[in-house]
Structure 1
Amino acid sequence: MDTAISPELATKAERDDLLTLGVEEEYLLVDAVEPRAAEAVDAVFAEVPGELRDGVQHEYYRTQIEVASPPQLELDELAAALLRLRSGVAAAAERAGVRLVAVGTAPATGQNARIVDNERYHRMRQRFGDLSPGQGMCGTHVHVSIPDPETGVRVLNHLRPWLPVLQAATANSPLFGGRDTGYASWRSMMWERWPTVGPTPYLRSHEHYLTLIGDLEASGAMLDAGMLYWYARLSATYPTVEIRMGDVMPTADDAVLLAALARALVGTLLHEVRAGIEAPDVEHPLLMAAHWRAAHDGLEGLNIDMATREPRPAWRLLRQLFDYVRPELERHGDLATVTALMGRLHEHGTGAARQRAMLASGASVGDVVDELARATRGEPGNPPID
């Protein structure tokens, strides 16, 4: 599966002034019987069918595996690509004697995982030590096309106030070590220990962006540009903005909703950039507070309205974002699908809420992992996860 954009798709996107999008997802590998993570990535990778290999790669830990969809214009094609990847890699995992689970952190207790035998990962481990002990952290990254890097930097500035509520909508890691952490996204809290994780700073230009990357490398806070872990950045590989603050979500539908909202948001912000509208320079501490609130409350609690600086229900802020980007949803033909997926999210809640609902009904952590494995693959399950 080729993850580069085809000439035909690029031509169509340019002709119709549409934005392409793609999704990267990281998954946890879990023992076939117990809910603990399993160091099985090499065995799983060996079982991945040849036609999917281009879209599958190793991650930092041996308990993880990552997929990347090819760029798409149509949401149904994105959904189909994600389902092919999820079901194909899940089947490969089963042939290797483990399960594929879309969850932000390992819900059950288990030994700290070893890193993949990769020279860059060994250098990261040597430089940064035990910043992320555990069995793996799994996120979602959405790529949306941009016309050029300078425009992309201006889009990054406009994105900053909106990302906390999108993070809240992805929350899918309340459990860690066999217990509820009190956070909807515990992965977010663990991830923030790395020195370059956090909100994107307000950028003066693409030159300023590149200067900061050079300064961070010189400081030792990152080995290379690939370790620029801001919540939104310019892709080093593709002509895209990469939005990367969210947990991996239980179902492909969840990922499609995030991707559609992200594309519509980038499209809306591109109009503002072209109209010469300056991005609000939201203070970094306020953004940090909003991202902390997203990790703590998820979508079921509160977040910060950046216009008023006051806490408001996070769901209401997500609905406000939906209303704001509605013209771009319509222009890309996504409105009906996103309206339906928003309704489903409102009914069932985030992945974190679904996990907690199962536990409240008497299910065990093992039951939650079983259900997440079914949801990851796309199989029908119980209502809290389906």
Structure 2
Amino acid sequence: MKIVTMGVEEEFVLVDRGTRAPVDRAPEVIAAAAVELGEQVQREFFNAQIETVSRPTDSCRDLRDELVRLRTGIGKAAAAERCRPVATGTVVVPPERPMTITDTERYRRMANRFASRFSTVDGLVCGCHVHVGTFDRELALALSRRMAPWLPVLQALMTNSPFAQRRDTGFDSWRSIEYASWPTVGPAPDLDEPQYLAHVDELLRTGALLDQRMIYWHARPSEHVPTLEIRVADANADVDTVVLFAALVRGLATTLLNDVLDDRPAQTVPLRRLLLAHEMAARYGLSGFGIDPYTGRERAAVELVDRLVARARPGLDAVGDTQRVLRQWRSVRALGAGATRQRVTYRRHGRLTDVVDSLAALTAAP
């Protein structure tokens, strides 16, 4: 089997050490962190956000070390600005004043054109994106078609945004709901490369998108690196859960790559079923039921993850990731996904500031 590399982009919200609310200190934090991390630390849409970008690797151990190094670097820079990076899908404690948009030409144009799609009070969301490759665009699109049925399962595994604006939203991933207000967010259309190019051209020509970087499908060919990018996950504080997510994405892609190269037909799933599966993943995470993508029947979400691990097993075995994945999956299954852990912390203490503190501490943990 071909050895597929993986890389992770993590988005964080910067919160004040005292109020635990988002603060617009990203420019200062990024400037300080970049001395050590260079272009691996980047701006995001709001000035209360920061993004890190890992280097591609074929090793889960190296990926974990890299993520810890990046988190440590931005944590030190944030401490000097009296704030902390927190990996969570949504803002738990609302800002004391409206957040500001990062001052770049692209973000200013996005803010003007899509002003109705977000709020400067509660519109900040943070995701965790995994890149696998290297693939040309045609191969990335073919893999995207085959991975689509399993993306709601990965989404459920990574739910970590039950709270927003000082309330329990009733969803395990409120980020998924907020983020869906942006154009193109959702399952990728079933396209080959010529169809993809024509579709993107139409989106740009009609003004539906500002640029190709605004293709926010759950799985998309990256336009700046030769990878397939998976975009269904909330930002997660537990670094080992992030590594589990990356390993499963890489294992599944490696397994399905053989189907692509052997020209086996992809098993298609009706769009309505995919949409329902994603909705249930956002609402219930691992704590309830999901939709079996092939039968359409309800099945316990944890059973669907077991099925995903089994489907990805050949790819996991090929790179020696199987035991690590099984061990970490047992841990997540016992403790619950991030959303469950946030609610446990809130029930124990009754204060959302303690939820933020718990997230910040876990984000910074080695």
Letter in 2 for 1:124: M
C-alpha separation in 2, matches of 1:130 and 1:28: 22
C-alpha offsets along residues 121-155 of structure 1, whole Å, 9 cap, x if unaligned? 11111111131212521001100004422222111
> Could you tell me which residue of structure 1 aligns to residue 206 of structure 2?
219
C-alpha separation in 1, matches of 2:118 and 2:335: 31
> Could you tell me which residue of structure 1 aligns to residue 92 of structure 2?
107
Moved more, 113-122 or 269-278: 269-278
Tell me the matched-pair count: 363
Structure 2 counterpart SS, 1:130: helix
The answer to whether the 8 A contact 1:47-1:96 is kept is: no
C-alpha separation in 2, matches of 1:257 and 1:211: 35
Structure 1 counterpart SS, 2:183: coil
Q: Point out 4+ residue stretches in structure 1 off by more than 6 angstroms.
A: none
* TM-superposed deviation, 1:17: 2.6
> Could you tell me which residue of structure 1 aligns to residue 322 of structure 2?
335
The answer to whether the 8 A contact 1:152-1:241 is kept is: yes
C-alpha offsets along residues 62-111 of structure 1, whole Å, 9 cap, x if unaligned? 11000000000111000000000011101111111111100001001223
- Structure 1 unmatched runs, 5+: 1-15, 380-386
Query: Over the residues paired in the alignment, what is the CA RMSD in angstroms?
Result: 1.2
> Could you tell me which residue of structure 2 aligns to residue 81 of structure 1?
66
C-alpha separation in 1, matches of 2:58 and 2:293: 31
Structure 2 counterpart SS, 1:357: helix
From 252, 272, 296, the counterpart of 1:309: 296
> Could you tell me which residue of structure 2 aligns to residue 189 of structure 1?
177
From 256, 264, 273, the counterpart of 1:269: 256
C-alpha separation in 1, matches of 2:34 and 2:182: 34
Identity level (%): 40
C-alpha offsets along residues 1-20 of structure 1, whole Å, 9 cap, x if unaligned? xxxxxxxxxxxxxxx83011
Q: Is it true that 1:131 corresponds to 2:117 in the alignment?
A: yes
* TM-superposed deviation, 1:271: 0.9
Structure 1 counterpart SS, 2:349: coil
* TM-superposed deviation, 1:228: 0.2
* TM-superposed deviation, 1:219: 2.1
C-alpha offsets along residues 174-203 of structure 1, whole Å, 9 cap, x if unaligned? 000011000001111000001211111112
> Could you tell me which residue of structure 2 aligns to residue 31 of structure 1?
16
From 151, 156, 162, the counterpart of 1:163: 151
> TM-score under structure 1 normalisation?
0.92
Q: Is it true that 1:324 corresponds to 2:301 in the alignment?
A: no
The answer to whether the 8 A contact 2:20-2:353 is kept is: yes
> Could you tell me which residue of structure 2 aligns to residue 253 of structure 1?
240
C-alpha separation in 2, matches of 1:60 and 1:187: 15
* TM-superposed deviation, 1:113: 1.3
> Could you tell me which residue of structure 2 aligns to residue 56 of structure 1?
41
> Could you tell me which residue of structure 1 aligns to residue 51 of structure 2?
66
C-alpha separation in 2, matches of 1:221 and 1:85: 34
> Could you tell me which residue of structure 2 aligns to residue 45 of structure 1?
30
C-alpha separation in 1, matches of 2:238 and 2:257: 29
C-alpha separation in 2, matches of 1:281 and 1:47: 48
The answer to whether the 8 A contact 2:289-2:301 is kept is: yes
C-alpha separation in 1, matches of 2:66 and 2:261: 32
C-alpha separation in 1, matches of 2:142 and 2:184: 20
C-alpha offsets along residues 6-43 of structure 1, whole Å, 9 cap, x if unaligned? xxxxxxxxxx8301100000000001111211111012
> Could you tell me which residue of structure 2 aligns to residue 376 of structure 1?
363
C-alpha separation in 2, matches of 1:212 and 1:73: 33
Moved more, 151-160 or 70-79: 151-160
C-alpha separation in 1, matches of 2:156 and 2:358: 22
Letter in 1 for 2:170: G
Q: Is it true that 1:199 corresponds to 2:187 in the alignment?
A: yes
Structure 2 counterpart SS, 1:323: helix
Letter in 2 for 1:131: R
> Could you tell me which residue of structure 2 aligns to residue 353 of structure 1?
340
Change (3 A) 1:135 1:195: closer
C-alpha separation in 2, matches of 1:112 and 1:272: 49
C-alpha separation in 1, matches of 2:186 and 2:244: 23
* TM-superposed deviation, 1:49: 5.0
C-alpha separation in 2, matches of 1:179 and 1:62: 23
Moved more, 66-75 or 211-220: 211-220
From 154, 163, 178, the counterpart of 1:175: 163
* TM-superposed deviation, 1:207: 1.1
Structure 2 counterpart SS, 1:99: strand
Letter in 2 for 1:280: Q
